[in-house]
Structure 1
Amino acid sequence: MSETPFAATDPGDTGAGTPEIMAPGPLRTDVAVVGAGLTGVVTAQLLADGGAHVVVLDADGARATTTARSTGKLSVLQGTRLARIARYGDEVVQDYLAANFAGLGWLRRTLDDLNVPVENRDDLTVASTPEEVADVDAVLATCARQGLAAQWEEDPPYPVRSYGAVRLPGQAQVDPLRMLSALRARLRSRGVPVYDGVRVRQVRRARSGVALRTTHGTVLADRVVLATGTPPGRLGGLFLRLEAGRSLLTTWEVTDPTALPPGFTETMSITAGSPVRSLRMADGLLMVGGEGYTVGRERDPARRLAVLDEWTRVHFPVDLPRHAWAAQDYTSDTDLPLVGPAVPGDDRVLVATGYAKWGLTNGAAAGLALAGRILGDPVEWGPTFEPWARRPAPRTSTAATFGVQTRDWACAATRPSGERPGAPRVSRICPHLGGVVRWNDQEQSWDCPVHGSRFGPDGTLLEGPATEDLARH
Structure 2
Amino acid sequence: MTSVWLDRPRTIPIDPFTPGADFDTVVAGAGITGLATAALLARSGQRVAVLEARTVGAGTTGNTTAKLTLLQGTILSSLRRQYSQKMVNAYVEANREGQAWLLRFLEANGVPFQRRDAYTFAVTDDGADQVRSELEVARAAGLDVSGTTDSELPFSIRTAVRMPDQAQFNPMDVLEALAADLRAHGGMIVEGVRLLNVKQDERATVLTSGGNVSADRVVLATGIPVLDRGLYFAKLKASQSYAAALHVPASTPIPRGMYLSAETPGRSLRTFPTGNEELLVVGGNGHQVGREPSPKRRLDQLLNWGIHHFPGAEVTHTWSGEDYRATNLMPFFGKMPRGRGKIFFASGYNKWGMTNGIAASLAITADILDGQLPWADTIHRRITSPAGAASAIALNADVAKTLSESWAKAELAKPETGTRTVPPEGEGTVVRQGRKPVAVSTVDGVTCRVSAVCTHLGGLLSWNDAEKSWDCPLHGSRYSPTGEVLQGPTTKDLPVMD
Shared fold (TM-score, shorter chain, > 0.5): yes
Deviates more, 1:168-177 or 1:410-419: 410-419
Indicate if the aligned counterparts of 1:451 and 1:465 stay in contact, CA closer than 8 A: yes
Q: Could you tell me which residue of structure 2 aligns to residue 326 of structure 1?
A: 320
Taking the aligned partners of 1:140 and 1:96, their CA distance within structure 2 comes to: 16
SS at match of 2:142: coil
Number of corresponding residues:
462
Aligned positions of 1:416-427 closer than 5 A: 416-421=437-442, 422-427=446-451
**Residue 415 of structure 1: CA displacement?**
2.2
* 1:393 alignment partner AA: A
Taking the aligned partners of 2:484 and 2:79, their CA distance within structure 1 comes to: 37
SS at match of 2:341: strand
The answer on 1:21 being equivalent to 2:16 is yes
Indicate if the aligned counterparts of 1:435 and 1:450 stay in contact, CA closer than 8 A: yes
The change in CA–CA distance for 1:14 and 1:78 in structure 2 (over 3 A counts) is farther
Q: Could you tell me which residue of structure 2 aligns to residue 279 of structure 1?
A: 269
**Residue 92 of structure 1: CA displacement?**
0.8
- Structure number with the bigger relative contact order (C-alpha 8 A, sep ≥ 6) is 1
Give CA-to-partner distance per residue, 1:409-430, whole Å, 9 cap, x none.
Answer: 5567832002223243111011
Deviates more, 1:326-335 or 1:42-51: 42-51
Q: Could you tell me which residue of structure 2 aligns to residue 306 of structure 1?
A: 300
Taking the aligned partners of 2:11 and 2:204, their CA distance within structure 1 comes to: 28
SS at match of 2:454: coil
**Residue 398 of structure 1: CA displacement?**
3.4
Q: Could you tell me which residue of structure 1 aligns to residue 355 of structure 2?
A: 361
Indicate if the aligned counterparts of 1:296 and 1:448 stay in contact, CA closer than 8 A: yes
* 1:220 alignment partner AA: S
The answer on 1:189 being equivalent to 2:179 is no
Q: Could you tell me which residue of structure 2 aligns to residue 129 of structure 1?
A: 124
Aligned positions of 1:292-441 closer than 5 A: 292-343=286-337, 346-386=340-380, 390=384, 393-395=389-391, 396-408=394-406, 414-421=435-442, 422-441=446-465
The change in CA–CA distance for 1:63 and 1:145 in structure 2 (over 3 A counts) is closer
Q: Which TM-score applies when normalising by structure 1?
A: 0.93
**Residue 57 of structure 1: CA displacement?**
0.8
Q: Structure 2 stretches of 5 or more lacking a match?
A: 412-434
Deviates more, 1:310-319 or 1:124-133: 310-319
Taking the aligned partners of 1:308 and 1:387, their CA distance within structure 2 comes to: 40
SS at match of 2:139: helix
SS at match of 2:8: coil
**Residue 394 of structure 1: CA displacement?**
4.2
Aligned positions of 1:251-266 closer than 5 A: 251-257=245-251, 259-260=253-254, 264-265=255-256
**Residue 323 of structure 1: CA displacement?**
0.4
Give the fraction of aligned pairs with identical amino acids, expressed as a percent: 38
Indicate if the aligned counterparts of 1:340 and 1:385 stay in contact, CA closer than 8 A: no
Indicate if the aligned counterparts of 2:240 and 2:322 stay in contact, CA closer than 8 A: yes
Deviates more, 1:183-192 or 1:370-379: 183-192
**Residue 257 of structure 1: CA displacement?**
4.8
Taking the aligned partners of 1:98 and 1:349, their CA distance within structure 2 comes to: 25
Deviates more, 1:183-192 or 1:453-462: 183-192
**Residue 314 of structure 1: CA displacement?**
1.3
Give CA-to-partner distance per residue, 1:24-63, whole Å, 9 cap, x none.
Answer: 3x22211111111111111111112222221111111124
SS at match of 1:149: coil
* 1:442 alignment partner AA: A
The change in CA–CA distance for 1:366 and 1:423 in structure 2 (over 3 A counts) is same
Taking the aligned partners of 2:403 and 2:61, their CA distance within structure 1 comes to: 29
**Residue 209 of structure 1: CA displacement?**
2.8
Indicate if the aligned counterparts of 2:204 and 2:342 stay in contact, CA closer than 8 A: yes
Taking the aligned partners of 2:380 and 2:198, their CA distance within structure 1 comes to: 20
Q: Could you tell me which residue of structure 2 aligns to residue 176 of structure 1?
A: 171
Taking the aligned partners of 1:407 and 1:123, their CA distance within structure 2 comes to: 42
Taking the aligned partners of 1:470 and 1:8, their CA distance within structure 2 comes to: 26
**Residue 132 of structure 1: CA displacement?**
0.7
Q: Could you tell me which residue of structure 2 aligns to residue 154 of structure 1?
A: 149
The change in CA–CA distance for 1:394 and 1:415 in structure 2 (over 3 A counts) is farther
Indicate if the aligned counterparts of 2:14 and 2:188 stay in contact, CA closer than 8 A: no
The change in CA–CA distance for 1:120 and 1:400 in structure 2 (over 3 A counts) is same
Give CA-to-partner distance per residue, 1:134-154, whole Å, 9 cap, x none.
Answer: 100111101221222100002
Give CA-to-partner distance per residue, 1:196-237, whole Å, 9 cap, x none.
Answer: 111011222x23132221011112222111000011142221
Q: Could you tell me which residue of structure 2 aligns to residue 454 of structure 1?
A: 478
Give CA-to-partner distance per residue, 1:312-332, whole Å, 9 cap, x none.
Answer: 111113332010001111001
Give 1:140's match in structure 2, choosing from 132, 135, 138.
135
Q: Could you tell me which residue of structure 1 aligns to residue 467 of structure 2?
A: 443
* 1:230 alignment partner AA: I
**Residue 445 of structure 1: CA displacement?**
0.6
Give CA-to-partner distance per residue, 1:283-311, whole Å, 9 cap, x none.
Answer: 10000001111111111111111111111
Aligned CA-pair RMSD: 1.9
Q: Could you tell me which residue of structure 2 aligns to residue 229 of structure 1?
A: 223
Indicate if the aligned counterparts of 1:341 and 1:386 stay in contact, CA closer than 8 A: no
Q: Structure 1 stretches of 5 or more lacking a match?
A: 1-5
SS at match of 2:389: coil
* 1:223 alignment partner AA: R
Indicate if the aligned counterparts of 2:87 and 2:382 stay in contact, CA closer than 8 A: no
